[in-house]
Amino acid sequence: MIEPFTSFVATQKAIADQWGIGWKLPLKPDGKIRPGHEWNLSKLVGAPGPVHWLSDLGFDAKTLTVLNQRLAAKGRAPLKKMALSSGWQDLIKSVVIEQILVRKNTPSHAALQVMRPMKVLGTCVQGLSGSEPWDMNGDDVQFACEVAAGVQPSGKLGELVISNIRSVIDAKHLCSRGPFFHLVTCETNVRRKRGQQTLGSLSERKHAELLPDVRALWELVRIVFTEKPRTFIDAIRFAQIRVMFICGFRVGEVCRIPLDWRRTREYVSVDGVPLGELGGVSKSLMIRHFAEKMKGRETNSVELIEAAQHVPIIFEQILSETLDRIATMTEPLRERLRLQFETGRCFPEFAENERLRIEDLYVRLSGNPETRRSTPDHLIADYRESFSRSALEAIRQYQEQSPSGLNKAVHRFWARAAENGLAKLLVRDVEVYVRKNLPTKLPDTAPLPLHGGRKMPPHEMLFLAPKRALIEMRNGGICDITRYFSVGLVTAEDIILNLSAAKGSIFDRYGDTEEDRKLGLNTHSLRHLQNTELFRQGIADTIITKRFNRRSVKQSYEYDHRSLAEQLTAMDLPKSARLMHPKAQGLAGLIKIGKASGPLVDQFKRIQKDRGDDEAFLFLAGEASGFHATPYGFCINDFMVDPCAKHLQCFDGCKYLVACMLDRQRSNLEKLRERILRTITEIEHRRKGIGRDNQLKHAESLLANIEKLLAAENGDLVFEDGRDLSDRLGHNQGPLIDAVI
């Protein structure tokens, strides 16, 4: 063991002691921590659900499967799940403490982005060589990266392993044989980091893979705006997805919209007159929410930071109707969660010494209102039409008035409860039973920490849902939310899973065709889409940055996936550049948005700085392919492959010449006209002959063309019906006078 490793572990252990966290954890043979000694990472920092645990210090189960395949290829025996060595255990516990209590990152980040990759690394290194973390070598870490790539085909796990090797093992000098950053790479399927991208055409979008699939996007629009949700929780999900479409929220932000979300702002003139009466807007709607990724250096990552986003007028009605309906639907859940929060009990509507009927207990623990006989289809249809309290009450009355006895499901439930120690039905005993045997169904009563030290009760959030209501989610039944005891906040993981291509997702259950049911969509791609569309519509980057709760404009451009053609269309070029041919304007646009570089661009910028826009764009026009500056005007032919045979003789009636009456061009043409006049005078004094006549005729033709060019307006195609002087085969080389002039 080396000193940096010992020091790092000792420091984190001391921090754990200060927080009253037990360091020595009793393990089972497979490495799982014995019940009652696990670390509840969410509880440590007061974070709301979902709860993340440090509950296993053994080999990573999924990694072990791929690891054994690799070991078999090397002729070695397979390994069984077992506890990691004490050195790896100390390292994993140390990085978790550092992430949560020192760096103040979220429990989900610590568990998924750090703890899991470190377990994968430890599993691979111990499985291959049995080395401790301070003694592993390059072969160990490279092998771990290869195995991680096989565990998760997307390559994300492999990236995380590499990231932790660099940021933990190398940065803290925890291994005597490091650093390893120059050695570690993932086997195939590793996702490329976003950086410079070469586009094949102007219409190609940069990093288009980050935008939603077109078919999946429109199918999701069809589902959430036209389909009727078949379950209560689906109605919640549909509303959240609508909000993501309208507001572009992150998936975590849409889950944390408060009940008191509505904010309005009124606008009046200096005279107190509403601006609506003066042609403006008198009132605007804003949606209050809690923004992510806004914490400062000293801010705890679990604290919620309040923000407000303006809602476009065209979306005000649909957003208000959607959120108001959710508030009405979730009112029974909110009432129950409020009582649970205030009393700390699971069944606050009953006294602790009160006895419960088997029927009441069954409904409250399972959510299933069918205790005697099947509910008629018309009652189910009424409920799924409105998800109202009155529809649930009608189902309840139907069951209570039924002459049938309790059904088999209730009897089976009671038998299982009796086996787990629930011998009598006092409410006090039922609550003890629930806390011991149903920990994942306990209501979310922990307050949400706000920035500044305040706390928000969970029932003040808008999106509430029954937790693990299997009767509705898995069995296709109805959950009686007026009696079901388990109430929680909707999590980001739920939306992510239901928009994936997995079995049971929203696409799978509501897709229109067989192909549609196999679709999936990344929730964050909707944010990329809206960001790009706002840029495309010409919205200022500062407004976009403010809308999406970002700290800098640079971050907004990371989400900009416009094609070069769209960016150039949106460019506002200087007036002098607008006189140029579109091809040269395109090059000018590329330079302005920073999409072109090289010696030509450097020279353009130097000229622009020293001599101004006119000279710079004149230089650019002369260098741009397909647009050439001459002393007499602009040529719009492209000579990248075949040079012009009549270079600098465009004024002789070439159909590609465009008038550009800058002072320099006019001066050159006037000087040329004087030279032609002198030449004509000289020819006229010569003896008559065939050669003299041809020269005179050609000189007079040149003079007429120059006069026509001088009379033309800026941008005119002077000799529209003229000849193509660049055509080597179609024209003779012309008389000798051309060369003389």
Q: How confident is residue 471, by pLDDT bands cut at 50, 70 and 90?
A: confident
Q: Do the Cβ atoms of 143 and 166 come closer than 8 Å?
A: no
Q: Which of 641, 637, 631 is nearest to 717 (CA)?
A: 637
Domain termination site, one of 149, 170, 191 = 170
Q: Tell whether 212 and 96 lie within a shared domain.
A: no
Return the structure tokens found at 501: 């291509």
Return the structure tokens found at 626: 């397909």
CATH code for position 553: 1.10.443
pLDDT digits (tens, 9 = 90+) for 72-124: 888 888 888 898 888 899 999 999 999 888 888 888 888 888 999 999 999 99
Whether residue 369 lies inside any domain: the answer is: no
Query: What whole-number distance in Å separates Cα of residue 559 and Cα of residue 614?
Result: 34
pLDDT digits (tens, 9 = 90+) for 158-182: 888 888 888 888 888 888 877 877 7
**Residue 536: burial class (beta carbons within 10 Å; 0-12, 13-18, 19+):** middle
Whether residue 715 lies inside any domain: the answer is: yes
Q: Do the Cβ atoms of 407 and 370 come closer than 8 Å?
A: yes
Quick one: pLDDT at residue 272? 84
**DSSP label at 568?**
H
Whether residue 510 lies inside any domain: the answer is: yes
The mean pLDDT of 412-437, rounded to a whole number, is: 72
Asked whether the predicted pLDDT for residue 7 surpasses 70, the reply is yes
The range of the structural domain enclosing residue 532 comes to: 208-266+280-344+445-469+484-561
Between 188 and 596, residue with greater pLDDT: 596
| Count of domains for the chain | 3
Cβ neighbors of 283 (< 8 A, separation 6 or more) are 264, 265, 266, 267, 276
Q: Tell whether 634 and 667 lie within a shared domain.
A: yes
The mean pLDDT of 564-587, rounded to a whole number, is: 58
Q: Which of 360, 285, 364 is nearest to 323 (CA)?
A: 285
DSSP strand E in 556-684: where? 628-630, 633-635, 657-658
Q: Give DSSP secondary structure letters for 464-532.
A: EEETT-HHHHTT-----TTT---EEEPPHHHHHHHTSSSTTSHHHHH-SSTTGGG----HHHHHHHHHH
Asked whether the predicted pLDDT for residue 449 surpasses 70, the reply is yes
Query: Which residues are registered as beta bridge partners of 498?
Result: none
Query: What whole-number distance in Å separates Cα of residue 365 and Cα of residue 386?
Result: 24
Name residue, tokens 């009112």.
331
Q: How confident is residue 580, by pLDDT bands cut at 50, 70 and 90?
A: low
Q: How confident is residue 732, by pLDDT bands cut at 50, 70 and 90?
A: very low
Q: Tell whether 547 and 585 lie within a shared domain.
A: no
Q: Tell whether 102 and 152 lie within a shared domain.
A: yes
For residue 288, what is the enclosing H or E element?
strand 283-291
Quick one: pLDDT at residue 422? 53
Q: How confident is residue 402, by pLDDT bands cut at 50, 70 and 90?
A: confident
Quick one: pLDDT at residue 641? 45
Least confident range of 1-10, 479-488, 709-718 = 709-718
Whether residue 567 lies inside any domain: the answer is: no
The 3-state DSSP class for residue 265 equals strand
Q: Tell whether 108 and 25 lie within a shared domain.
A: yes
Q: Tell whether 736 and 620 lie within a shared domain.
A: yes
Per-residue CA distances from 46 to 50, 114, 289 (Å): 12, 20, 20
Query: What whole-number distance in Å separates Cα of residue 157 and Cα of residue 186?
Result: 10
Q: Tell whether 583 and 700 lie within a shared domain.
A: yes
Q: Do the Cβ atoms of 577 and 613 come closer than 8 Å?
A: yes
Q: Do the Cβ atoms of 656 and 637 come closer than 8 Å?
A: yes
pLDDT digits (tens, 9 = 90+) for 229-267: 999 999 999 999 999 999 999 998 999 999 999 999 988
Average pLDDT for the chain: 81
Query: What whole-number distance in Å separates Cα of residue 250 and Cα of residue 291?
Result: 8
| Of 141-155, 251-265, 440-454, 672-686, highest mean pLDDT | 251-265
Q: Which of 669, 658, 663 is nearest to 710 (CA)?
A: 669
Whether residue 553 lies inside any domain: the answer is: yes
Query: What whole-number distance in Å separates Cα of residue 144 and Cα of residue 121?
Result: 6
Q: Do the Cβ atoms of 3 and 59 come closer than 8 Å?
A: no
DSSP strand E in 34-84: where? 39-40, 53-54
Cβ neighbors of 695 (< 8 A, separation 6 or more) are 683, 735, 736, 737
Find the radius of gyration of the CA atoms of the chain. Answer: 37
Q: Tell whether 624 and 552 lie within a shared domain.
A: no
Quick one: pLDDT at residue 692? 78
Asked whether the predicted pLDDT for residue 57 surpasses 70, the reply is yes
Per-residue CA distances from 643 to 438, 625, 654, 717, 725 (Å): 83, 12, 15, 21, 11
Least confident range of 239-253, 588-602, 678-692, 708-722 = 588-602
Query: What whole-number distance in Å separates Cα of residue 715 and Cα of residue 662?
Result: 11
Whether residue 417 lies inside any domain: the answer is: no
Neighbours of 162 (CB within 10 A): 22
Query: What whole-number distance in Å separates Cα of residue 372 and Cα of residue 375?
Result: 9
Q: Do the Cβ atoms of 545 and 556 come closer than 8 Å?
A: yes
Quick one: pLDDT at residue 698? 82
Asked whether the predicted pLDDT for residue 404 surpasses 50, the reply is yes
Q: Give DSSP secondary structure letters for 163-201.
A: HHIIIIIITTT-STT---TTT----S-PPPPP-----SS
Cβ neighbors of 276 (< 8 A, separation 6 or more) are 282, 283
The mean pLDDT of 347-351, rounded to a whole number, is: 89
Q: Tell whether 25 and 160 lie within a shared domain.
A: yes
Per-residue CA distances from 653 to 632, 662, 709 (Å): 12, 20, 9
Amino acid at residue number 568: L
Asked whether the predicted pLDDT for residue 128 surpasses 50, the reply is yes
For residue 456, what is the enclosing H or E element?
strand 455-456
Q: Do the Cβ atoms of 220 and 506 come closer than 8 Å?
A: yes
Quick one: pLDDT at residue 208? 77
- Evaluate the CA torsion angle 49, 481, 316, 271 in order and state its sign: negative
Quick one: pLDDT at residue 735? 41
Whether residue 271 lies inside any domain: the answer is: no
Q: Do the Cβ atoms of 485 and 336 come closer than 8 Å?
A: yes
Whether residue 720 lies inside any domain: the answer is: yes
Burial 167-199 (b: 16+ CB within 10 A, else e): ebbbebbbbeebebeeebebeeebeeeeeeeee
Q: Tell whether 159 and 17 lie within a shared domain.
A: yes
Q: Tell whether 695 and 585 lie within a shared domain.
A: yes
Burial 106-141 (b: 16+ CB within 10 A, else e): bbbbbbebbbbbbbbbbbbbbbbeebbbbbbbeebb
Between 162 and 668, residue with greater pLDDT: 162
Domain termination site, one of 170, 194, 229 = 170
Domain termination site, one of 531, 561, 591 = 561
Q: What is the largest CA-CA distance in the chain?
A: 135
Q: Tell whether 111 and 52 lie within a shared domain.
A: yes
Whole-prediction pTM = 0.68
